[in-house]
Structure 1
Amino acid sequence: MKELERDLGLPAVLAISIGAMIGSGIFILPALALEIAGPAVILAYALAGLLVVPAALSKSEMATAMPEAGGTYIYIERGMGPLLGTIAGIGTWFSLSFKGALALVGGVPYLLLLFDLPLKPVALGLAGLLILINLVGAKQTGRLQVAIVVVMLAALGWFAAGSAPSVQSANYVGFFDSGLEGILAATGLVFVSYAGVTKVASVAEEVEDPGRNIPLGILGSLAFTTVLYVAIVAVLVGVTDPGSVAGSLTPVAVAAEATLGQFGVVAVIAAAILALISTANAGILSSSRYPFAMSRDRLAPPSLSKVSERFGTPVTSITLTGAVLLLFIAFVPILDIAKLASAFQILVFALINVAVIAFREGSAEYEPEFTSPLYPWIQIFGLVTGGLLLTQMGTVALVGAAAIIVGGVAWFFFYVRPRVDREGVATDAVRRRVGRDLLSETESAMNDSRREVLVALTKNLDADRERSLVSIAADLVRPDDGRVVVVRFEEVPDQAPLTDDLTVQSPSDRSFETRMASLSEELDVDVEADEIVSHDTKHAVVNFAENRGVDTIIAEHEPLRLRSRLLGDPIDWVVRHASCDVLLVDNLGYDLPARIALSSDGGPYPPLAVNVAEAIAKADGSKLSLWYPENSTESDQYKRTIDEYQSELSALLSVPVRSELFRADGGQPSTPDVVVRPGSDERLRNVLFDDGPVFPSPGCTTITVYQHESSRPRLGRRLLERVTF
């Protein structure tokens, strides 16, 4: 297999990074930003350079860990998964396309200083020519790029040095008149000036000593370019009359004419045209590779990754990118182009910072030679400031960023999700963190004592079903020498008064108490029997449980028809209003030794469900099977993490455990006697979809466990469990 020679040293890395930045950021944007922030545009450039540092550090780290990967989209897709990878890919594609359009729309006015030609047609013609060049496969050579960088730096250096003596301090009066909002808005606008700082990551595989040269190259070029931008903009503001440059299409040429004469103007024009055409060509070249890369990862149609046999280029991807570029040039004003380019770049840089956290916290192999200092605070700073800048950039930028996010999410669910089953390391990192927290909660729950359990008999049961409910309660309280309170609740019509004659025990009541006394001896627990008559059973159950201070209510619950689900069932009401945990039993009875299964609804096992299943299995001397839904579309990493989670859970339990998969259609690996499953408080979702597992019936008792809301995870945590598990 052929390998790339690592022959790019630090000077080459600096040249690549500086060359990718200097262009529209200095030849076009100062005039647009000056209209927003006035002289404080100088501070806006410095602040933008500072706010790029977190993304520069993050991408330096990822480039040294994955020098062969290349590309912002790849890092985010691998770190955050296909959903955010889709958003990042589309966002970066649009950002680079907008940057290419900005370079052409902003570069042509410099050319028109020498030739009297219409702006838009010339920009469209140049764009068409560059698209054609990319289609037939011609590329910039390294020497040409270095030459362009040298010419630009020479011209800009001459401009700055030659113009500095002409700076007038009066031009800086009212430096902060635009206020903080104006400075932040201008900072957001010029942010795209630094977009190329991380371009060197795309050639990381060719960099010698990447652990040293990549971060030094990226951070060194960022520092150099920031100082250069600030110096040139400071001179540009200082040598021109207040307001004369603001809004100009050729701000550097205007300033050069004021200090260096016609020869200086020609030199600046030559440098600007070279830089901007180079930037536009690089924009087309790099942006067209994003649909190409996304197509290879199955996030976009396969036609976008087809390479022309004749030209050796991805023709469809380049054509699509070129069409988008032409539309931007033809119909989007230059200020909006600049804002959208910056907005998308801010969005992508924010995702880069999150991706580093994902790689660090995830389980994937990740060994960077360079690690970002101040982790994770520097990444959080980059994420927060990126969001702050977006809010200050106006409606166009916010709508553009929102459109990319919404469009990316829609495309993911419409096209990507049916075709891609991999996930990012961030999802796995969150899943592992949630699993660890849940295991800690489960361990703590095992130490909780149950002093008293209420068995609520709300209808007439035969002796076997009655015994099953009391046996379950006995298994829960026995380890703590607790008590089982078995109460028969009788409901009388509202029009019937509650008189003393209703409290007289019937032969049935006395027989019930005799059976409970017999069960107390048989099960070796304290069983107390009682009877309660009321007008409303559900309120009576809840009131008794609260007044008595029981820890758990156990009641029988048969499967309900849709009408009962919609209109409500008394026991469902008890679940929502009880002051303690509730176990609802689909009671078909079981014999000992019982086969016990703990089922998952697709999420992790709640601590209370684990506790109940273990107590029953331990009391009956049974093995416990951990059921988990089988899903052939899940990634191998997902399956490994679930296996590890189940192994760690098994180690906490005091009974023999084995893991078994069950199918969503109800197929089970074995037929248990008792299944313990978590209940859901998402009532409407259960009513309409009821997508929980289908259990074997008849022949299986099912215990649905409802934790009291005080011990239930918060909504955010439940959402995390649902998404990651």
Structure 2
Amino acid sequence: MVSLLFFFNIEQLARLGGAFNILIFILLNMAVIILRKRTLPGYEPTFRDPFYPFTQIFGVVGSILLLPLLGGLPLLFTVLMIFAGAGWYMYYGKDKAMPAYNLFDLLENNVERVSVEPVSVGRVLVPVSNPGHERDLLKLADFLGSEIICLHIIEVPRQTTLMVVQEAYHEKQIEMDCRFQEDFEQYPAKFGNKREFIIAFDHKISNSIIEQAEIEHADIIIMGWHESKRFKYSLGDVTNDVLLSSKSQIALLKGHLPDSLKKILVAYNGKQNSVHGLYLAKKLAANTGASIRIISIISPDEDPDKKAIITEELDGLVKKITSIPVSFKLLERYSIEDAILEVSNGYDLTIIGDSSERFKISLLGTLSQRIARHSRKPVMIVKKSKPISKESLNYLLKKSGRKIYARIRKEKDPD
């Protein structure tokens, strides 16, 4: 420390130290605001600021205004410290941090472990575009929800206004392909669920799916595909756009469901999407009489104590599910993908939760993509975006863009 005085300007060192202290002061004030606004187990402060949050806001704003006055070098040092800390956490401390939640979880007030009984699935939205897959999606919706909303979207050219097409449709001046509605009305719902068929018009199909999911308060969107190149993503693909921007829970079904489900496999890792996947498996099993097999994969080099903890957790999980036959298996493999594919060959349906990362580059996690590509049996991928995530950000941006576009069109065509 003393050697720095001989090689660097003392005033600049003092400014750097001041910038570091101001950064800590900003973070401390932000932490007080976040902790006071959220429910954190064990957080019981002995003193509460009577002027909260004005004291903290003044401290944060004043400190931010003070940083540029220290000069360019201290400001650069502060920015580098932020990026260095974030990088250290992402590449080293993320999997070792205690407690297991992070700042985003705290902001969402979601620091407790995800329950195996999440918010129930009631309203199910099923967008249809492939007659060969419609019955599989409706069957899945019938098993999972209490209200089925079948959505058929007509894509309208950009140069044609939606109002003109809607008026022409209601006046029966245009012919419609009624196959989807006829199949939907003839489909034998087994559980007497409420059903509704909606025809929508939009310039972009994915926008309509996302909007209708919000309008109808859908708890889950069920989509599917059959094409072998479906996972080779291309811009403009409907499934891609919905995955990228939807806030609703999504279930992607690959393959055809068998006439009867007898055995369901659930790949479980304790994270949010796999927990929702297990919940959906329970609903499927309850309505079909199927049995559930839960598998969790760990490395053979894993610490024995951790193996014991995971085994105990799975055992407790199975004991809580009493109404349907459930069993578990802890597999020791170096390749998670190979382990799931190997076991899935003996089951009618494999359910896997997508990656729970908030800002991943790909639309689906690498593991879920590979399982869906190579599995010989039907696979259902469960994906639920978090309030602070890439999907939520895209949703807000697209919603704002649609409002601006609608306002511009209205100004251009006042009549």
Q: TM-score range by the shorter chain?
A: 0.5 to 0.7
Conservation of the 8 A alpha-carbon contact between 1:347 and 1:386 = no
Q: 169, 187, 192: which one pairs with 1:525?
A: 192
What is the CA-CA distance between 1:595 and the residue it aligns to? 2.7
Q: Does 1:568 align with 2:243?
A: no
Q: What CA distance in whole angstroms lies between the structure 2 residues aligned with 1:483 and 1:429?
A: 36
> Alpha carbons of 1:701 and 1:437: their partners in 2 closer, same or farther (altered >3 Å)?
same
Q: What CA distance in whole angstroms lies between the structure 1 residues aligned with 2:61 and 2:17?
A: 15
Conservation of the 8 A alpha-carbon contact between 1:664 and 1:694 = no
Q: What CA distance in whole angstroms lies between the structure 1 residues aligned with 2:196 and 2:45?
A: 66
SS of structure 2 residue aligned to 1:436: coil
Give 1:157-306 correspondences, 5 Å limit: none
Q: 349, 363, 373: which one pairs with 1:674?
A: 349
SS of structure 1 residue aligned to 2:290: coil
1:76 aligned partner: none
> Alpha carbons of 1:470 and 1:631: their partners in 2 closer, same or farther (altered >3 Å)?
same
What is the CA-CA distance between 1:445 and the residue it aligns to? 1.1
Aligned length: 354
SS of structure 1 residue aligned to 2:361: helix
Conservation of the 8 A alpha-carbon contact between 1:454 and 1:554 = yes
Q: 138, 141, 165: which one pairs with 1:473?
A: 141
Q: 2, 6, 9: which one pairs with 1:333?
A: 9
Give 1:63-78 correspondences, 5 Å limit: none
What is the CA-CA distance between 1:624 and the residue it aligns to? 3.1
Aligned partner letter, 1:701: P
1:218 aligned partner: none
Q: 228, 232, 253: which one pairs with 1:585?
A: 253
SS of structure 2 residue aligned to 1:443: coil
1:425 aligned partner: 98
What is the CA-CA distance between 1:458 and the residue it aligns to? 0.9
Q: What CA distance in whole angstroms lies between the structure 1 residues aligned with 2:60 and 2:203?
A: 58
Conservation of the 8 A alpha-carbon contact between 2:352 and 2:368 = no
What is the CA-CA distance between 1:616 and the residue it aligns to? 0.9
> Alpha carbons of 1:629 and 1:401: their partners in 2 closer, same or farther (altered >3 Å)?
farther
1:93 aligned partner: none
2:114 aligned partner: 438
SS of structure 2 residue aligned to 1:685: coil
What is the CA-CA distance between 1:594 and the residue it aligns to? 3.2
After superposition, the C-alpha distances for 1:524-567 in whole angstroms (9 at most, x for unaligned) are 43475869596878367667767766554433234674896231
Higher CA-based Rg: 1
SS of structure 1 residue aligned to 2:362: helix
2:292 aligned partner: 624
Q: What CA distance in whole angstroms lies between the structure 2 residues aligned with 1:569 and 1:484?
A: 24
Conservation of the 8 A alpha-carbon contact between 2:124 and 2:220 = yes
Conservation of the 8 A alpha-carbon contact between 2:19 and 2:74 = yes
2:370 aligned partner: 694
What is the CA-CA distance between 1:615 and the residue it aligns to? 0.7
Aligned partner letter, 1:445: V
Conservation of the 8 A alpha-carbon contact between 1:422 and 1:634 = no
- Between Structure 1 and Structure 2, the one with more strand by share is 2
Conservation of the 8 A alpha-carbon contact between 1:362 and 1:429 = no
SS of structure 2 residue aligned to 1:475: helix
Conservation of the 8 A alpha-carbon contact between 1:545 and 1:553 = yes
What is the CA-CA distance between 1:630 and the residue it aligns to? 3.7
Unmatched segments (≥5 aa) in structure 1: 1-96, 102-324, 364-371, 719-725
Conservation of the 8 A alpha-carbon contact between 1:583 and 1:705 = yes
1:658 aligned partner: 328
Q: 690, 700, 714: which one pairs with 2:388?
A: 714
Aligned partner letter, 2:349: V
Q: Does 1:611 align with 2:284?
A: no
Q: 175, 187, 208: which one pairs with 1:502?
A: 175
After superposition, the C-alpha distances for 1:12-31 in whole angstroms (9 at most, x for unaligned) are xxxxxxxxxxxxxxxxxxxx
> Alpha carbons of 1:660 and 1:620: their partners in 2 closer, same or farther (altered >3 Å)?
farther
SS of structure 1 residue aligned to 2:272: coil
> Alpha carbons of 1:346 and 1:475: their partners in 2 closer, same or farther (altered >3 Å)?
same
Q: What CA distance in whole angstroms lies between the structure 2 residues aligned with 1:544 and 1:410?
A: 39
680-689 or 582-591, which deviates more? 680-689
Q: Does 1:595 align with 2:269?
A: no
> Alpha carbons of 1:638 and 1:341: their partners in 2 closer, same or farther (altered >3 Å)?
farther
Aligned partner letter, 1:702: V
Cα RMSD for the two superposed structures: 5.9
- Using the size of structure 2 for normalisation, the TM-score is 0.57
- Between Structure 1 and Structure 2, the one with more helix by share is 1
Q: What CA distance in whole angstroms lies between the structure 2 residues aligned with 1:526 and 1:373?
A: 50
> Alpha carbons of 1:503 and 1:638: their partners in 2 closer, same or farther (altered >3 Å)?
same
What is the CA-CA distance between 1:502 and the residue it aligns to? 2.9
1:685 aligned partner: 361
Conservation of the 8 A alpha-carbon contact between 2:16 and 2:77 = yes
Q: What CA distance in whole angstroms lies between the structure 2 residues aligned with 1:643 and 1:561?
A: 38
Conservation of the 8 A alpha-carbon contact between 1:445 and 1:608 = no
After superposition, the C-alpha distances for 1:90-135 in whole angstroms (9 at most, x for unaligned) are xxxxxxx2xxx1xxxxxxxxxxxxxxxxxxxxxxxxxxxxxxxxxx
1:43 aligned partner: none
Q: What CA distance in whole angstroms lies between the structure 1 residues aligned with 2:19 and 2:157?
A: 67
Q: What CA distance in whole angstroms lies between the structure 2 residues aligned with 1:533 and 1:411?
A: 48
What is the CA-CA distance between 1:714 and the residue it aligns to? 3.0
> Alpha carbons of 1:467 and 1:429: their partners in 2 closer, same or farther (altered >3 Å)?
closer
What is the CA-CA distance between 1:453 and the residue it aligns to? 3.2
> Alpha carbons of 1:488 and 1:509: their partners in 2 closer, same or farther (altered >3 Å)?
same
Conservation of the 8 A alpha-carbon contact between 1:626 and 1:659 = yes
Conservation of the 8 A alpha-carbon contact between 1:552 and 1:582 = yes
Conservation of the 8 A alpha-carbon contact between 1:454 and 1:487 = yes
SS of structure 2 residue aligned to 1:700: coil
Q: What CA distance in whole angstroms lies between the structure 1 residues aligned with 2:208 and 2:81?
A: 55
> Alpha carbons of 1:336 and 1:633: their partners in 2 closer, same or farther (altered >3 Å)?
farther
Aligned partner letter, 2:339: G
Q: What CA distance in whole angstroms lies between the structure 2 residues aligned with 1:400 and 1:635?
A: 40
Q: What CA distance in whole angstroms lies between the structure 2 residues aligned with 1:337 and 1:536?
A: 59
SS of structure 2 residue aligned to 1:667: helix
- Using the size of structure 1 for normalisation, the TM-score is 0.37
2:381 aligned partner: 704
What is the CA-CA distance between 1:486 and the residue it aligns to? 5.0
What is the CA-CA distance between 1:489 and the residue it aligns to? 6.4
SS of structure 2 residue aligned to 1:554: strand
After superposition, the C-alpha distances for 1:482-505 in whole angstroms (9 at most, x for unaligned) are 344556667799999865573596
Conservation of the 8 A alpha-carbon contact between 1:625 and 1:660 = no
Give 1:13-162 correspondences, 5 Å limit: 97=1, 101=2
What is the CA-CA distance between 1:402 and the residue it aligns to? 5.6
What is the CA-CA distance between 1:693 and the residue it aligns to? 5.6
Identity %: 16
Conservation of the 8 A alpha-carbon contact between 1:490 and 1:531 = no
Q: What CA distance in whole angstroms lies between the structure 1 residues aligned with 2:193 and 2:124?
A: 11
Q: What CA distance in whole angstroms lies between the structure 1 residues aligned with 2:211 and 2:20?
A: 58
Q: What CA distance in whole angstroms lies between the structure 2 residues aligned with 1:351 and 1:651?
A: 43
> Alpha carbons of 1:533 and 1:340: their partners in 2 closer, same or farther (altered >3 Å)?
closer
Q: What CA distance in whole angstroms lies between the structure 1 residues aligned with 2:86 and 2:214?
A: 47
What is the CA-CA distance between 1:596 and the residue it aligns to? 2.2
What is the CA-CA distance between 1:581 and the residue it aligns to? 4.4
Aligned partner letter, 1:670: V
After superposition, the C-alpha distances for 1:33-78 in whole angstroms (9 at most, x for unaligned) are xxxxxxxxxxxxxxxxxxxxxxxxxxxxxxxxxxxxxxxxxxxxxx
Aligned partner letter, 2:350: V
Q: Does 1:460 align with 2:131?
A: yes
Q: What CA distance in whole angstroms lies between the structure 2 residues aligned with 1:475 and 1:500?
A: 38
SS of structure 2 residue aligned to 1:567: coil
Conservation of the 8 A alpha-carbon contact between 2:19 and 2:70 = no
2:413 aligned partner: none
SS of structure 2 residue aligned to 1:613: helix
Conservation of the 8 A alpha-carbon contact between 2:126 and 2:148 = yes
Aligned partner letter, 1:556: G
